[in-house]
Each structure stands twice: as structure tokens, then as C-alpha cells.
Structure 1
């Protein structure tokens, strides 16, 4: 049907869709086709995709091997919807995930399918932490983003999104993320609150964090800071939750973003690219001793997306050797160098390059925040899809597919440099 409409059909979304839509405002065209790291609109204009479904398409659009597996499964009348009933597709994914991801990393977790979204896995993580400990408070961090449902919003920092809840968001305390105070350690701040019986902060059930904050502005925690957080959790018998919804599945260079820090969270939240193909799917990984759910205590209709299991099992093929991770690092080095050059070329922006792996951004400095939106808009005009991040939309954010080739990566970065030049020099 999309093949028969014209660009005026943007009015269709304005006329019939809720005002809540956002990405169609940032990228005002009607897309019709996508492959790898490219998208095309109905007029045939080509775009390089540095967005990748907000990190849900780490292996690119319409990945050929995953597409074929899904098509074969459908053709053979494979089960599509099954709640949490046993299916061959479900069993195969579980076995593959254990053999390819968990065992080689010496990790032991029970796999929970909480529902199809990142918010679903966060909600289940908060619930099981409270159930295990008998405590109700959760410690989260400044500029965190964990989802849009009430529990996930309660541990999210953004005031605009929190206000949308319409009610008080209780039983959580926000602490300063790494480098929130500049060079002063936020660990000492957190230690003091936990140690001091007069701090007003009771012993929490859990600490939840992103090792690299995505929506919060591509803030990357140091490995030392993450290690200190884990030590505090162990000292006070607090469960440690890593939200790897956006930073996981290879985004930062290793399958789990926390691997280089050599920590072992009690609970891990995964979604976005875990299905490999952009199909809805989420996992909550729970250390076996904390898996104390009663049957059906946390359930949902769409915990059995078998086509996601099929694609997700195939996606794990990328992680059977170290070759894929090495290729991510090679492209991450290119991205870092190009971002640092842009920062150097435009000192008037007081910008900084930040992030890790292929989760990176350029943050425009104080008083220059609006440049990020203008630059991403100009880049889109020139055929590059990028979004902004941060509390003031001040960060130009790269989330391109991990499978993007170096030629496409550099071509997209050339477009970004052109956008910088036009926007900054004309203001």
C-alpha cells in the first residue's frame, strides 16, 4: 500500500495518529524499504541509517540469514504465538543463548521472558528484587532512562517523561551517576547515604543502572565506578540490576556492556536487539538463587513470540567467535576519531565526544544545546538519519547497525560533517 501514496501522506499521520508520535516529526518522510544500513522513502531517496530502530536493529534492516529463517518457519506453519508454552523455537533459543552467550562467559542465570519490551523487563526486575529482599526502595541514577511504564518511569530521571505519569512516583531514590559532579566521586556520596542512619534513605532492594546511559546523553560510566557500585551492593546485601536494553547485544563492543568491568550483576535486563530482527522480545536474566517467582506471578500474553526466538537464535551466530566483536571495535575506533575531529574543528560549540563502542555521541556545550537538533535536521535533509539524546537534546547520538560496513560508516560521517559545517558556520 505504501507504494501507492505520495509524500503528502504525512498528513495521514497528522490527521489520524495521536500527538504523542515523535520520530515521524524528526524524520518527516514516508519510508518504504530498508536493507542493511540504508532506508528509502516512497520517492526513492536513500538514507544512511545511524539510528537503527533506536538500537533494536544492531544487525541491520532485513538481515538476510534471519529473514530466511523466519520465512522458512512461517512457510512450514511454525507456531507464531504460544504464551509461555513449550515450543521447539523457544527451546532452541534457550539452548543457544546458554551455549553461545552464558557458558563462555562463566555466567549462570535463569532466563525469564517478561513481555516484549524493555519496560517489561525492567518492571519484572524491580518486582523480583523487592520480592527477594522484602524491601521497597530502588536506587537509580541521574539522567537514567528505563522505560515509560510506571515502575520503569519511577527509576527514570527525565522530568518531562516522569511528569507524564500523572501520579507520584514513589519508592525510588536518584543518586548521582559517575562524573555527575565532575571530578568529584559520586561513590562517596552514595556510600555516605547508605552508611548514615540519618540520611533518610533506607536500605534499598536494588540498585539499577545503565553502564552507558543512552537517552540520558551517552554518559559512559568508568569500569572502576561500576566495580565500586557492585562492592557496595555486596556489602549491604542489595541486588545489582544492569539495564542492558540499549547498551547490550554488542552495542558497546562486547555482548554484555558490563563485561570489561568484570562484574556479575544479580539481574540483567535485555530487549531491543535480542531478537536480532527488530521483532518484540525481552529477557530478564536472574541468578538462580533469586528466581523465586510463583508460577504465573508475572505473566503476559506476548511472552511467546516464536518468530523472535527464531531470529534471535540465528543472531547469536555472530557471537560464536571473537571476529564480530573485533569488527565492532575497528569501526568504533573510526567513529571515535571522526567524532573527536569534529569536536576539534568546531571549538565554538564547546562540544565533547563521549560513549563507548558503537554507542557514541557529540554533546554540544552549555548555551549551544540547540545546535544538536539543527545539525541532525540538516543531516536528515542530506540523507542521514540520526537522533538526539540528553535532557536538553544536546547530544548528537550514533546508534548505527553493528554490521555497517566501513564505507557506509565513513560516508555517513561525511554527511554529518557537512551538516556541522552548514549549521555552525551559518549561525
Structure 2
């Protein structure tokens, strides 16, 4: 694909230097449908990014779009803070019947605000309120958001530095296999908890991602997650699973922790819960933890009614018969086979891969290689991003609704992009 540099002058002159994704993909996008985006010149790009995991059901999904248009055309409520509405009722009933009850979960649903970091902030706040303690344990290479509380439990030094103030009341521990299997799981963590001389304040909670997306597609083993849940129970700490990017079916099951057979005390959900890319976030917690006073945590945009409509439509369309999970796992096996072939072909580059469901990472010893692969993929008509502390991992995050033909097209481009940068 020949790329003609678009006129980006207004973005460069008016928009802040903080913009990032647009620097990797110098195009002016105009429309999107399914697994494809189109720029204003009509060029086509296959999407292996999916709105950073916010578009699990693709762009402008026709089922969700129809539900949204019908709602707007009848002048349905668009803004209601936390007032009761028919759209909220329909979502809560659907979420209860399609997601919670089939999994024997009785978690309460809180709408903390429209973004993932809003959900994390409310989860941390609730854990501290319940336990009467300040400290939260997180893990190396974690990412939980860009507001101050979320940054305090995020590992990335560059993002943490942007806070401009000390980030306190958080303690990092090694994520699964962080020490390359040289020490038993949680030996350091448990030793600190049991030693009155360790200097570790008793934590209120532990927050964890089952797959660290921004941290480099680091996949926690099911047995590691089970051991973590047991550790939390034995030491009176709440377990928070951040399922903002990996939930809503990204790893196969609706919740990413289901494979491990655990049920967290608190769960944060956002990104694809709205279905259509509309802002929506949930904080789920066990009923006995619901000790909030009315209005103790609130926000102007915590009741996004158009998102309730598309969220309910997505649950009804994709999560009532178990087919989405099977399809996601099958698509993931196809990606795994291709990545295995790429790693074999490029063993000299020290390439490795890892992932679950439809989230995968291809890592190179030379971090610049991952960036070069993504740049070449864009030239060939594929959107990919990097992740990891040094942007050393090529990250695969296609829509869950991608067809086998579209997936094969993207994997062919990836294979070529790796070869072209060898």
C-alpha cells in the first residue's frame, strides 16, 4: 500500500503534544465497519487494535447500531446521572440474567463513571473503606489507569512520572513468572505479611490483571491466580481483578478469571461492556461490601443510557448460548499457530509469543523491532500497537467478531511485516 502523507496541520497546531496513537498511524480516519477502518482517501485498514479492546464486537456492529438508533429516534433518555431509567433497568436485568446468575455471582453493580480508571478508583476507595486500611498491593508491569489512585498501582515508570507528585499507599509485588520461575510463588509477599518487622502495612486489597495488556501480554497461570485468591483469604485482603481490557470475552469466557475458577471480591469492567465503543464502566462487588453511603461516590456521567442500550443488546446477541467463547478460543488457536511459525522462522531474533483467547503478544529481544513491525504493518494496511515497558511486544487485539478470512488476511500481513523488517 502506498501511503500519501495526509494534511495533519490542524492536529499539530491545535491539539496537545500528548496525543499518541495518531503518531503511529498517520492517517485521517473517516468511517469504520466490522473489522475495518477507512481513511478520508478511501484506503482500507484491517483492525487488530479494536479501540484498545473497546470494540470487541467490531465497528458499528449492525445489531447494536439498530438498537441505539431506535432508542435515539424515540427520544430515549441520554443523560440521567444515577436516576432510574428504562434503559438502565433493561441493562441491569440483562446483566444479572446473562452474566451474573449463570456464574452463581451475586455481586452488586456500581456505575462509577464512564471510564476504566473511574472503576479502578472506586474499587480502591471501597476496599479501603471496607477494611479501614490504606495500603494496596499491585504487581510488576501492571496498568490500571491514568488518574492518581490508579497510577499508584501501575508499574510503568513513564506513566507514573506524569503524576507530578508522589504516588503512595501502593506496594508492588512480582507478577507470575516475573522472576523466571527461580523462586516459589508469593514467597516474598507472604513472608512480608507474616513478619511484623517487614515494614509492610497490612494491605486492604490486592489488585491484579489476569493478563497484563499494557504490560506486555503477561499471562498469569490459573494455579497462580488460585494461589493469590487463597493468600488474600488467609490474610484478610480483598481480591480485586481488573478486567477492563481482558473482560467481556477477550480471553474466551466473559470474565478472564473464570478459567482459574476464582470469584474476586471486586471486579472492574469497562471498555467493551458498552458494546458499541460508548463509554461505560462497572464496579462489581460482593453484597456484604456494599457499605457506601448514598452519594459518597458519584459522577456526572455515571449513567450513560445510550451505552446501557448497546450493552444490553451485545449481551443478548453474543452471550446467551456459549458460542462467542468457543469462537474466540478457536480464533485464538489460529493466531497461536501463526505466531509459532513466525517465532520458528525468526529464532535468530529471539522472538517469543504468549497469549490467551484473542489477546496475543509477539516479543522481540530488540525493542525497536516491534515498533518497526507495527509501522510496516500499517503501511500494508493493518493496525497493530506495541505494549510492554520498552514497547518490545507486538500486541494482537482483533475484534471478537472477526471472520476467519479477515483473521487470515491480518496474519498474512503480520508474517510479511516481520519478514520485511528482518
Fold conserved between structures, TM > 0.5: yes
SS for the counterpart of 1:265 is coil
Aligned partners of 1:63, 1:7: CA distance in 2, in Å?
30
State the match for 1:3 in structure 2.
none
Aligned partners of 1:420, 1:383: CA distance in 2, in Å?
14
Counterpart check, 1:206 vs 2:205 = yes
Structure 2 gaps, min length 5? none
State the match for 2:80 in structure 1.
82
Alignment of 1:227-376 (within 5 A): 227-317=226-316, 318-365=318-365, 368-376=366-374
Q: How many residues align?
A: 417
* 1:231-273 deviations in Å (ceiling 9; x for gaps): 0100011000000000100000000000010001000000000
Aligned partners of 2:194, 2:371: CA distance in 1, in Å?
43
CA RMSD of aligned residues (A): 0.9
Aligned partners of 1:199, 1:359: CA distance in 2, in Å?
37
Aligned partners of 2:288, 2:364: CA distance in 1, in Å?
45
Aligned partners of 1:349, 1:60: CA distance in 2, in Å?
33
Aligned partners of 2:226, 2:259: CA distance in 1, in Å?
10
SS for the counterpart of 2:283 is strand
TM-score by length of 2: 0.98
State the match for 2:222 in structure 1.
223
Alignment of 1:91-170 (within 5 A): 91-170=89-168
* 1:121-148 deviations in Å (ceiling 9; x for gaps): 0000000000000000000000000000
TM-score by length of 1: 0.97
* 1:9-37 deviations in Å (ceiling 9; x for gaps): 31111111000000000111000110000
* 1:276-334 deviations in Å (ceiling 9; x for gaps): 00000000001000010000000000011100000000010201011111111110100
Aligned partners of 2:360, 2:206: CA distance in 1, in Å?
24
* 1:145-195 deviations in Å (ceiling 9; x for gaps): 000000000000000000000000001100000000001334112111111
Alignment of 1:39-50 (within 5 A): 39-50=37-48
Aligned partners of 1:11, 1:397: CA distance in 2, in Å?
29
SS for the counterpart of 1:417 is helix
Runs of 4+ in 1 over 4 A off after TM superposition: none
Contact 2:5 2:26 survives alignment (8 Å):
no
State the match for 2:180 in structure 1.
182
Aligned partners of 1:348, 1:88: CA distance in 2, in Å?
59
